[in-house]
Chain A
């Protein structure tokens, strides 16, 4: 195409394009009714809330928090892994990717928009699960208070029990636990997107993502065993291998501080900072590496 004035350089639509792709990704996933599985979570949370009687009050709340946060962690991981794994292959298969990239949209903007869409989905899902969790805690709290007043009466003993129950039910650190689950799932989303930039099928992406998830949980234990408990001095090769593994796979054991929150133990701020910082770092690195693969991929 010749004999025409030179076209202008792209203007600063970067954010608006990323926003458009992110909003569209969220809308796509919402209209595919991915939130139906939230009903399962609600059923688990409410079920535990109603059935966790017959044990000491503190334990009732621990069981409820443990079950709800555990379910949240698994559900959010499943949601982001499955949703992210299908985004890119589906766009390529349906050729919607061609239509989008034929507009003034760079591959980086496309990838970032898709990731942002999944993060929004995760945020909404965490918000909904958080609400169900809060509802379950509220129900358990009221049931426990009713039990306490029935057992101890309205006197000082009863009031002391009620105060203890209220203290055990809602703790501000629960919000930090939700943020930790979000961060862990965000790492999984970025990792799955990275895998899908070079994978040829979403099944492969999901399988590798699951494997990395497992490695992320067991690698600190394995590393500790090899380095300290095997009884032999580790070779340079083994050290290099372990260093490599610990660098490319996130240490998901860091996020086990959620268990400490459940049992009510104090968690140092530095551990939160480390977990959130590591999460942010992995999301950034995985996204950049994903872009490097995607930018050279033939469509």
Chain B
């Protein structure tokens, strides 16, 4: 049919539970169904079959979103609004008003370190600032669940680390986080549990440690070990019936190195 859109199965047989207080990472290549899953959770797309619940409330009901904060991928807000006006606008949509709303907006601007840009129009914000104001608006009504779609996409390493630290702070405050990201190193740092989607199907799911740890191997990191000591350890390993798989100097990761270098210059 010339005017009929082709139907595509975006997500199939998906069943997962995110426990309160968990940081859950939804992973998968482009087009695997991550964003569609998030849209279904948020009630933006209705599933052909099946249900989703947020804290026991059907997520197709508007009321379920009272508990949810959402940061879309590459968020764009109204460019004509300032940072403060943006937060106030989204606060009003959540039923906040007056002095309480203004105080909450100021508090969040401080949290995401945008106090100095509060009265600047969003149109002049950098990518990192947009992500941070996006996080702030997602938190405006103190939600219990945060849904973050690529929260650090396109952000420089320092900004990315700031966002990661914020997510860890949310976790400490008991906020449940559902995020999807292509930055697997960051996911590994912050997520308790992950699900991997591929072509719309959940192919792996579980606690991060269980999924990536190698059961029959042990990592031992030594400091100031002399060559004779290393030789004795190798002998002991061989005598115990085990095998040294790899022996190398641990390296600082590039992100840590970059941050140290750039912080020293600034």
Contacts and interface: CB of A to CB of B under 8 A. Distances in A.
Nearest to A31: B80
Contact of A16 (B45, B63, B78, B92): B92
B152 interface: no
B74 A95 contact: yes
A7 interface: yes
A159 to B, nearest CB: 54
Interface string B208-220: 0000000000000
B153 interface: no
B63 A102 contact: no
Contact of B81 (A3, A27, A94): A27
Range of interface residues on chain B?
A: 35 or more
Nearest to B55: A4
B65 to A, nearest CB: 5
A36 interface: no
Nearest to A95: B72
B137 interface: yes
A100 B93 contact: yes
Contact of A99 (B18, B57, B80, B90): B90
A104 interface: yes
A104 B55 contact: no
Contacts of A102: 42, 44, 65, 68-70, 72, 147
A104 B44 contact: no
A104 B80 contact: no
Contacts of B67: 7
A150 interface: no
Contacts of B73: 95
A27 B82 CA distance: 12
Contacts of B54: 1, 7
B145 A1 contact: yes
Contacts of B56: 2, 4-7
Interface in A104-129: 104-106
Given A20-B92, A20-B93, A98 B72 contact: yes
A17 B93 CA distance: 5
A16 B94 CA distance: 9
B14 interface: no
A32 interface: yes
B95 interface: yes
Contact of A96 (B43, B76, B94): B76
B144 interface: yes
A104 B90 CA distance: 10
A24 to B, nearest CB: 5
Nearest to A106: B62
A28 B121 CA distance: 12
Contacts of B64: 7
A24 B92 CA distance: 11
Interface in A1-45: 1-11, 13, 16-17, 19-21, 24, 27-28, 31-32
B44 A98 contact: yes
A117 to B, nearest CB: 12
B75 A95 contact: yes
B94 A103 contact: yes
Contacts of A99: 70, 72, 75, 77, 90, 134, 137
Contact of A7 (B17, B19, B55, B95): B55
Contacts of A2: 17-20, 53, 55-56
B18 A1 contact: yes
Nearest to B63: A10
B145 A104 contact: no
Nearest to A27: B80
A142 B62 CA distance: 59
B89 interface: yes
B199 interface: no
A101 interface: yes
A11 B70 contact: no
A96 B81 CA distance: 12
Given A4-B144, A7-B67, A105-B62, A24 B55 contact: no
B39 interface: yes
B18 to A, nearest CB: 5
B63 A8 contact: yes
Q: A7, A8, A31 — which one has the most chain B CB atoms within 10 A of its CB?
A: A7
Interface string A73-111: 000000000000000000000111011111111100000
B200 to A, nearest CB: 16
Contacts of A55: none
A299 B40 CA distance: 11
B162 interface: no
10 contacts: A1-B53, A2-B17, A7-B64, A20-B89, A28-B78, A95-B75, A99-B90, A99-B134, A99-B137, A102-B72
Which 8 residue pairs are nearest across A and B when measured between Cβ atoms? A102-B70, A20-B92, A31-B80, A4-B55, A94-B76, A13-B95, A103-B93, A10-B63
Given A10-B63, A31-B80, 17 more contacts: A2-B56, A4-B144, A5-B56, A7-B55, A7-B64, A7-B66, A8-B63, A8-B66, A13-B95, A17-B95, A19-B92, A27-B80, A95-B74, A101-B44, A102-B44, A103-B141, A104-B65
